[in-house]
Amino acid sequence: MNCAGSMQAPGLAALPPGRSHLLFVLLLLGLSALLVRAAYLQGVHNDFLQQKGDARYGRVVTINAHRGMISDRHGEPLAISTPVESVWASPRDVEATPQQVKQLAQVLGMPIEEVKNRLSDTSRDFVYLKRQLPPDQAEKIVGLGVPGVSLRREYRRYYPDADVAAHLLGFTDVDDNGQEGVELALQEQLGGKAGSQRVIKDRRGHIVEDVASIRAPKPGSDLALSLDSRMQYLAYREIRLAVEQHHARAGSIVVLDAKSGEVLALANWPSYNPNNRAKPDTRVMRNRAVTDLFEPGSTMKPFAVAAALDAGKVTAETVIHTEGGEFAIGKRKIRDTHPETVLTVAQVIQKSSNVGAAKIALSLPPEAFWRSLSEAGFGGQTGSGFPGEAAGKLRDYRKWLPIEQATMSYGNGISVNLLQLARAYTVFANNGELKPVTLLKREEPVVGRNAYSPATALAVRDMLELVVKPGGTAPLAQIAGYRVAGKTGTAHKLEGGRYVNRYIASFVGLAPASDPRLIVAVMVDEPGGAQYYGGQVAAPVFGNVMGAALRLLNAPNDAPLGNVMMPPADVIKEEA
């Protein structure tokens, strides 16, 4: 009997037909579910898989915008951005041996523990190790080939003139954003807008494919300032020499185009180098010509005279009784350094008589005097847009006492910044028209506002010419070949509500006086030694800068080359 067809392998049992069918159905359902899930994820709802893939291999990287260049009025670069590399890491992707970490720290010049701490912070996807490396150092980082450590292109600001124009230009931070000066004031135009790009990176953090540009970077705009680099250097050099020569605390100088109000130079000493990333003392960084207020002293006298001329109270030849140099107002006395019995109005300016200026101011109603000063720009800002610009102080005339109205005529009880004072003198250069100042190059003529009549402005300008001639307070401001008009100031400093024996020496002038091209204002804070008068300290700075600047402009002479005449005796001194 053949039983082979009915025999089974030992240990095996046949599944009942119903169970095998059930198992087959379950397997088929499982496979169908997987197929449906795969189709759903890849065809209908693939965000999850895309998200996971992007998290492992995709990155959105920022593309820094190139900051706009700042140039002077002739196109000479004053601030440019140069490309640099910064080292960054994705801690989750870093696969570095202890030896590589040690080498990385050595190349970066960082403590090894600091590098370890930054690389081990897996809570962050992005961490800088060091910013703005020079090219040779960046190449060494690349040569180490540490997975997860990469370079990022950035820009670093460079200032070719270093400390010469530091206070005007300011500087940027490590992210190339303006922090001071023009860099801050015009950040929106200069900074541009950063872009972004989606990329795929390998396990070592290297970009292997650019997927898409999400937003293209928009570079910043190039800007041309009103500054003339040649005049800026002259101004900087001379104010530095004056501060050092007279052992002064500080000094400032402003050069304006008399017709357009453009700032051609603005310098302070002490200064700082904006290329040095170590932050200097804030007192050195301060742009004193714009942010610091001071009492202008006798540089205010021309405005008191102009107000009285415009009101018809005096003429240039009107005789003022100066009381032998001492004039009492209540319990207070006003004194002249050089007593005179009588002076004409022109001589009040020439010899800088406090008594004469006070009497002229008191001939006006307080409101009229206040309004005249306000029209000349005192009590407000210049409109330059410079960050931190201090508004001048001109008190409400309804609160004036007679002594305050009198002393304001020679610059006590009123405060200005140097840029504001220089701007005020545009009224004498432009037939009574006050020009708005600007830090940007102007292509078209600018219209100001009328502060005085043309006749008044011309009459005061003639008086200011007497100041620099023998018999005046500033013969050291004379320039060979040019007529000069200007005014000295020597003001006691106000501390704790009291005037102390420390001084602000100043001079503001314009030239050529026949048709003014430039205005130069000089202020020296606390000159030491025997020389502290404006005619001794500030006037020579004016003469050196104005003379060289006029020659740079090829301004035609309006006087013989032998016009400089020095007095036989010492310069007439004045206080106020």
Just list the catalytic residues. Answer: 298
Query: Are 168 and 185 a contacting pair, CB within 8 Å?
Result: no
CA distance 63 to 80: 18
Q: Mind giving me the DSSP string for 1-55?
A: ---GGG---TT--PPPHHHHHHHHHHHHHHHHHHHHHHHIIIII--HHHHHHHHH
Of 513, 441, 8, nearest in space to 225 by CA = 441
* Nearest-angstrom CA–CA distance, 346 and 358: 14
As given in the structure block, the two tokens for residue 134 are: 């020079």
Dihedrals φ, ψ of 106, to 5°?
Answer: -65, -45
Q: Are strands 326-329 and 332-335 parallel, antiparallel or unpaired?
A: antiparallel
Using an 8 Å Cβ cutoff, are 289 and 319 in contact? no
Cβ–Cβ contacts within 10 Å for residue 566, how many?
10
| Cis omega (within 30 of 0) for bond into 512 | yes
- Residues 170, 228: Cα–Cα separation, whole Å: 17
Q: How far apart are CA 78 and CA 436, in angstroms?
A: 24
Pairing of strands 149-158, 77-89: antiparallel
- In terms of phi and psi (left: phi > 0; alpha: psi -120 to 50; beta: otherwise), the region of 519 is beta
> Amino acid identity, residue 389?
E
Please give the full DSSP string across 178-242, using - where no structure is assigned: B-SHHHHHTHHHHH-B-EEEEEEE-TTS-EEEEEEEEE--BPPPPEEBS--HHHHHHHHHHHHHH
Amino acid in position 548: A
State phi, psi for 168 to the nearest 5 degrees. -80, -45
3-state secondary structure of 320: strand
> Residue type for 520, please?
V
